[in-house]
């Protein structure tokens, strides 16, 4: 006997010597796999709504671009994530249409919701509030082999995690922009962020702080991560403040730029760097590598802070084990030179 199941249809049983039997289908089980055809946006919306209810696994067409032209609700391109939803992208992209007339983010995970994205690129989200690519509000977002690219928002250009759980594994947050803070990621409201084997690359906090990551009132742990080429006014690579906890292991902060704290800006918070490297970062005023203010505590274990401009750590002596060169750089670059209007998309 052969069974064929279609969403919203009937189950047909056909056997040799048996008459045709039509039986209603029950709800899909958690093991169900919903296939969504290439750029079938209504199908993707329906699949997310179904997965919110029963935890079905959503699989996208390989190497396809799914383009959202209008939002599903006022701020989000797709339905809010309220259940346990997994989307396997197979190398595909979900993006906001560059010509869309309305601004919206792509994903929104609300309290109690869990979203897992695998082998997917999320791009083009654009919103005047928080989380250009995704907003996590006391929910959970898992990113596996996933890229958040070219999104923009006031806070958390790529991802904003507000009191939730953000887990990144072998994932990239690249060329996102914030008009406020957290060009790549904003981890706020007691949120927890864990990132392993990936990169925060060329993100920008255009007129504020935390180019790659703004950790403000949360806990962020990065292991084997490259934080490179990010820009901000303070904390080009990372800004850690307001009693937040930052743990870096086998992580590199390199080629980041800021007015102060090119690699890391640490303010009244504990930061621990183990087996890590802070190098070739640039600040206009001080703290080319690390700027440690307001009785912040930076602990270096088997970590090098070297070849930063105009100094490695500021104020002098505030980071045990970090020394500055005897001479400083001549004619440091201006703010305009450090924060150019390059090919990173400016927010609207």
**For the segment 30-89, what is each residue's pLDDT rounded down to a tens digit?**
458 999 999 999 999 999 999 999 999 999 999 999 999 999 999 999 999 999 999 999
One domain for residues 54 and 89: yes
How far does Cα 169 stand from its chain's mean position? 11
Q: Residue 234: is its pLDDT beyond 50?
A: yes
Both 119 and 213 in one domain: the answer is: no
Of 240 and 9, more confident: 240
Q: Considering only residues 7 and 183, tell me which one the structure prediction assigns the higher pLDDT.
A: 183
Nearest CA to 133 out of 191, 84, 75 is that of 75
Together in a domain, 215 and 275: yes
Tokens of 315: 């104020």
Q: Which residue matches tokens 């990144």? A: 168
Q: What pLDDT score does 14 carry? A: 32
pLDDT in tens, 242-271: 999 999 999 999 999 999 999 999 999 999
Q: Hey, which residues does 246 pair with through a beta bridge?
A: 220, 271
Same structural domain, 18 and 39: no
Is the pLDDT reported for residue 8 higher than 50? no
Residue 19 lies in a domain: yes
Q: Is the same domain home to 58 and 109?
A: yes
- Residues 226, 116 within the same domain: no
Closest CA to 48 of 72, 65, 18: 72
- Examine the domain organization and report whether 108 and 218 are in the same domain: no
Shared domain for 117 and 160, answered yes or no, is yes
The answer to the question of residue 281 being in a domain is: yes
pLDDT recorded at residue 19: 34
pLDDT tens column, 171-194: 999 999 999 999 999 999 999 999
Q: Determine the pLDDT at residue 326.
A: 67
Identify whether residues 5 and 90 lie together within a single domain: no
Total domains in the fold of the chain: 3
Q: Is residue 95 domain-shared with residue 122, that is, in the same domain?
A: yes
- Tell me what pLDDT residue 207 has: 85
Q: Identify the domain containing residue 268 by its residue range.
A: 209-348
Instruction: Give, in order, the Cα–Cα distances in Å from 105 to each of 91, 125, 137, 330.
Output: 20, 4, 14, 43
- In Å, what is the CA distance from 150 to each residue of 22, 202, 343, 345? 49, 10, 10, 7
Whether 159 and 263 map to the same domain: the answer is no
> Does 187 reside within a domain?
no
Instruction: Evaluate whether residue 121 is within a structural domain.
Output: yes
The residues, any chain, with a CB within 8 Å of residue 53's CB and separated by 6 or more, are 27, 83
pTM, to two decimals: 0.86
End-to-end CA distance of the chain: 58
Q: Is residue 195 part of a domain?
A: no
Residue 51 resides in a domain: yes
Same domain, 216 and 234: yes
pLDDT in tens, 190-221: 999 999 999 999 999 988 899 999 999 899 99
User: Is residue 233 over pLDDT 90?
Assistant: yes
- Higher-confidence position of 21 and 81: 81
What would the pLDDT profile of 117-174 be if each residue is shown by its tens digit? Answer: 999 999 999 999 999 999 999 999 999 999 999 999 999 999 999 999 999 999 999 9
> Pick from 170, 200, 224: which residue ends a domain?
170
């Amino acid at each position: 006997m052969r069974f064929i199941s279609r969403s919203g249809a009937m189950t047909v049983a056909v056997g040799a010597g048996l008459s045709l039997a039509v039986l209603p289908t029950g709800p899909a089980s958690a093991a169900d796999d919903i296939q969504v055809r290439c750029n079938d946006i209504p199908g993707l919306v329906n699949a997310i709504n179904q997965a919110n209810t029963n935890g079905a696994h959503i699989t996208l067409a390989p190497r396809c671009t799914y383009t959202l032209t209008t939002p599903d609700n006022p701020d989000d391109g797709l339905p809010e994530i309220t259940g346990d939803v997994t989307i396997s992208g197979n190398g595909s992209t979900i993006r906001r249409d560059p010509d869309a007339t309305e601004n919206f983010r792509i994903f929104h995970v609300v309290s109690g919701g869990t979203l897992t994205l695998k082998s997917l690129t999320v791009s083009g989200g654009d919103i005047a509030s928080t989380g250009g690519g995704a907003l996590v509000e006391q929910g959970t977002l898992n990113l596996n082999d996933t890229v958040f690219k070219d999104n923009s928002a006031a806070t958390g250009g790529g991802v904003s995690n507000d009191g939730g759980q953000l887990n990144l594994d072998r994932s990239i947050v690249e060329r996102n922009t914030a008009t406020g803070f957290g060009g790549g990621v904003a981890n706020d409201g007691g949120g927890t962020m864990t990132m392993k084997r990936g990169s925060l690359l060329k993100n920008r906090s255009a007129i504020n702080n935390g180019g790659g990551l703004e950790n403000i009132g949360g806990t962020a742990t990065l292991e084997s991560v490259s934080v490179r080429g990010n820009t901000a006014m303070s904390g080009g690579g990372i800004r850690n403040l307001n009693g937040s906890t930052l743990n870096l292991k086998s992580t590199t902060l390199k080629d980041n730029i800021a007015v102060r704290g090119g690699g890391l800006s640490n303010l009244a918070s504990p930061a621990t760097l183990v087996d890590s490297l802070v190098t070739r970062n640039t600040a206009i005023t001080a703290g080319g590598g690390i700027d440690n203010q307001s009785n912040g505590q930076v602990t270096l274990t088997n970590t090098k802070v070297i070849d930063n401009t105009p100094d490695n750590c500021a104020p002098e002596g505030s980071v045990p084990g970090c020394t500055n060169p005897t001479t400083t750089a001549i004619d440091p670059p201006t703010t305009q030179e450090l924060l150019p209007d390059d090919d990173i998309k400016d927010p609207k």
